[in-house]
Every structure is written in C-alpha cells, then in structure tokens.
Structure 1
C-alpha cells in the first residue's frame, strides 16, 4: 500500500488569520490530508489571494517561480495568466466549494503518486554527498607565506574573520537549531540549507563548486527559523524525496566550510602564543581534506602547544596548521590554555618545502611518535 504524506500547502497574499482558518479547516475533515508550510519550495499547492498584490505584474512574476505547482486563487473574479492551469475559488469562500477543490487536488495528487510508485520498479540511487571528499587540498592559498615576525601588520596577513563570512552564518544556523531545537533554514537565492536538530544533519541543494564559492566571499543571507515542530519529520521526508537535496552531518559540513574559508589563514591569532588543547579528535574528517591531519590532531591531544611551536616541532608549514586550527575551533574541539607558550619566532624560518614532500622517515622523532599514538588516542577520545 502506498504511504501518503500530507500535501503541503503554502500561501501568498493571505493574512495570518486566513492561514489559521485554513489550518483549522484541514484538521476538521479526516478525509483531507493537507498541511500548511511557510516554504514555497516545499509546497505542492499554493493558495494565492491576488487582490492583496499591489500590481498585476508582481503576481505574474511570483507565479513563474512556482513551476509545476498547483495554484489556487481566492478572488472575486476568475483569473487566467498565460494559459496557466489556475484553480479558482470564489470569494467569499464557501466551505463546500473549498472542500470540493481540495478533494479534487488530493485525488489527482494521490493518483500521480500511485502511478509513479507502480512504474518505478527499480531501486532509486541515492544522491552522493558531494561534500564527502576532496581530491586534493586545493583550498590552501599558494600565496600564503609562513609568518616570520610578530609585527602587527604581519599577523594581519594570516588572519581572517569567519563571523563576517558564510562560515559564520552556517555556525549561527547550527547554534540556533541546537538552542531552539527547531528546524532552521539558511537561504541564498534559490539555494537552501536545512538544519535538522534531532539528527544533527544538514540538507542542502548546493553543488560543491557553489559551496566553495560562497566560502570565499561576503554575501547577503537570510536565516529563517521554522517553528512548526510537528511538521519537521514531514519536511525531512519531503527533502529526502527531492533529488536535488543531499545531506551531511552538521559538524562535517562546518569543518569543511571552515577549511575552505580559511585558505590557510587563522581565525584566532591568540593561538600563536597561547597553548592549544585539543579536547576531541575529529575522527570523521577524511585524511585527504588536509595533509597530516592525524599527526597534528594527535600531537595536540598529547600535550598543548601554541601553533608556532607546533609548526616548528612537526616541520609542517604554518598554513596547514592554521587551517587545521580554524576548522577545529569552528566545530568546538579546541580551546586555549591560560599559560603562555614559550616559543617565539626567533627560531623559525619560512618553510619552502611543501607538506606532501615529507614522509614518515623525514619527520622528527616527535612526529613519528604521534603517528604510532594515533590509534591509541582514538580509543581514549570519544568522537
């Protein structure tokens, strides 16, 4: 038997009181299977009161965005726009007329779902998560040089401000979702990210290319909190049914976005002199995301070091260390201790060799120890 989820309905031009009346109407009839949502892109049906639009061209522009959508007009006169199939309910709305229209929509919608279920006998392939891997750490800026002095102007060259960028908006959305225990939507144009608190997952319809593009600029974003907790599971079901959406874990997404945003720069310059403590190993991070991730993580978990000491001790270029710290700080697995580190830049020189040129035998003894300790640390630190 075909399991039928509610038919989602959005509205435009209707007052809050009218929406409440619709919601009450849906609940009064057991043979109606409709639910109101505030997001047009999740809706199957959109109810529009054209008389509340100030200009006719605005209605046309709005309807063009609702492709392949059932549209119902509440108006005194029948409205036709560019031969679009628009249903019409005469105002003032009569209960029987509304119910008849809804039952017809529901019957057509159910038949379409049943036909699709009968014809699609092959299992559907899941949308692969484009954010799961990167072939190479191309997010690191080739122009980023190691810091060779503690002058303010030099420190500013290796610093970035995540709160002013896409990374900051994503982190804010995660925090709101957690604190409000509510579905949160982050949108940019036609692209959305839905943050689901119960599963700590994010549904998004952005390609990896677009996502990386958003990480390197300052853009206008809109945060919207969906407070209707009863519909969260149904919205998730709808997102799962949409091929253009894929999902990933919140922390994994934020880690990756922080790496791409940092480009080898540092989110907190206090870590240059204050020892950094790693409280949890980010075991979910693919190794190809950042070279020597396991070595950096296990060394910091073993004992706190400031980032300059860490770079010097492991013979790893600072920009890789900075990128790791920026991502780890974003997901909340590092903190700064109060004791000042002893290292300065007097013994450091810019490292011209790339991290990929190091093999295990080329690393200092302390680095070799961290490799052998990685498996032990995985048992000691919960992921």
Structure 2
C-alpha cells in the first residue's frame, strides 16, 4: 500500500509540473491571439456590386456566360423582384447583386468559397442571400410556369416532319380506340351475341337493322372481324399502363397496383391544371412580410459585428482551454484508476502484516519469531515473505534467514 501511495504522489507531482510548463506557453499564446489584429480577407477593389454592374454594362455575351441571361432580361427580372417586394436592397447587397449571386451559382455550380471570391462577401452573407432567393422560387413558379394543354399538340411539333411517324401511330391508335368503343356499345344492345373465335358480332338481320340505326359506324364490322377487341379491352377497360400492371376490371387489384395507379394518375392528370409546384412548400407568409424580415435580418450594426467577432475569438480560445482541461482531467483520472486497481491486487507487505503472519505460524518458537522480526526491516525480505504462497516453503525460507 505504501508503494501505491508513493506512485500516486509521484504521478500527481509530475502532472502538476507538466501543467505549469504548458500554461507558461499556452497562456501567452492565447493572449497574443486575442490581441492580434484581424486581417481583412476580401480586399479586392472590385466589389460584388461593381462586378455585377460591369458585367451588365459590358458585352451581352459576358452576361450570358456569367448569369445565363441577357442584360435587359436580368435587369427586368431584378426590377420585378424589387417591385413585388420579393427581394429588397440591404445595406451591403442590392437586389441586382443578390440575383447575380444566385444566377452565378446555378450557372457555374459555384461553391460558397467561389462566391466569396467573386462577390467579396463573407460566407454567412452569401449563404443568407442565396437562401432568400431560393425561398421565392416557389412563388415565381406559381406566377410564371404555365402547364401545357395535354389535349392539343403544339403547332411547331405537329408541323415538323421529324415527328410525323409518331403522329401516324397516334392516329392509328385513335382509330382502333374508336372502333373498339363502337363494337363495345353495339354489344350492349339486346339480342346481340359475340363469336370469340371469329371476333365478330352475331345477330339476326332484324337486330342488325336496329343496331345500325343506333350505331351507324358499326356497319363495316357486319361482315368484318375485329381481332383486337379482347386486347383493347385489356388496355382500355382495366389497365393504367401496359406490362405487368395490366389487369381487367374483374380481376382483383393488389395494394401495390393501387399505389402505382395513384402515382400514375397524379403525374399524368394534367387536364385539371394541377400545379406541379404545389408540394414545394411555398411559404405561407406574404412576400412583403418575407422581404421585410429579410431586410431586417440583413442590416446588422457594424459595431455589433466587431463585438461578435471579438466574442467569437474569445469563445474559441475558451473552448480550446476547456477541451484541454477536460483532456488532462480524464487522463489523470485514468492514471489514478490504474494505480488504484493495481493496489487492489497488490499484496500488503507492511511490517504490521508481516508481524501478524509471523505470530500465526505455529511451527516457530517465540525465540525464532523474535529473530524473524529483524528480517522485516528490509522491504525486499517483506515482499519475499508475503508473496510466498506455499506455507512450507515460507517456513523453510524464514528458518534459513534466521540461521544465516
């Protein structure tokens, strides 16, 4: 136990000396970092506002390369955003520069660091302004994106010879669908039969006269088969798409097919003018309030920014010191734990323990016990005596030391 206490004392003294040496070097370095003058990062005379103005006033190809817009379209877009209060000029960034940042980013896949170098603003300012433009994209989509009419083909496409084969197939599909509907409606008449082998309508002459009066277009199928009727029934009556999702109206529809039908219907049902941007999570607040909040949040006081920078630097140094103290605390805790754990398994070799062990040995006389006490003045003899686990061997060693 004495050795364990001695090891613990030596360890604590060494740790204290290391801490003193470290703090002699760390504290001056921390003070120097706090007192060091902050060096400006963005020192170019070509600020973001001047850069945007120079691009817009230069050749239009320059604007197309940087912003993917002609200068007049860019200015018209900026005026619209400002007039509708979707974006507002702030103390350091006007609307044109905000739009320029956004267009430069999506045109060149630019990173935040690239935008900092190009427009001479901090990373926090760049991120905030880009997010403000992103937030108004759903509003712009609802105002300007118009869904096409899916029931009519655009004249430019319909008049292009390259697409004629497609329209020929489309016209043939319309013809087949019309013939299928005619035969289907005719089969609903009373007394009308159907020959599955011949794929023809079967009826008496009098019934045929009645069918032709109600459905004149079925006349050509009086003596002509329509072999595609069953296949078209699978396509039009009970399916949403060809392939493994084809099923008739009498078949049981699986749960996964219902989900696929819902998804297909949602994507394809454009006749109802469903807005594809309705799920983009447009903000519920008005554009005016959003612009005011953006303006208020983007006009900080310069003195406050300086104070925030100093506080941030102090906090960083404090965090470093705190992390170091936690590390040293954990390191000392582990070392002490190892010493304590080792002391638990260490055999007690104190003089009092040795005397108690000697007194319990019945094979020794009182004279031999008295002589053995002198051996325990040496720590090595105490360790040998207490660590010998076999009693007979311990007795032989003890008698040899007494006799010697």
Please give the range of the TM-score, normalised by the shorter of the 2 chains: under 0.3
TM-score by structure 1 length?
A: 0.18
TM-score by structure 2 length?
A: 0.17
Q: Which has the higher helix share?
A: 2
Q: Which has the higher strand share?
A: 1
Q: Which has the higher contact order (CA 8 A, sep 6+)?
A: 2
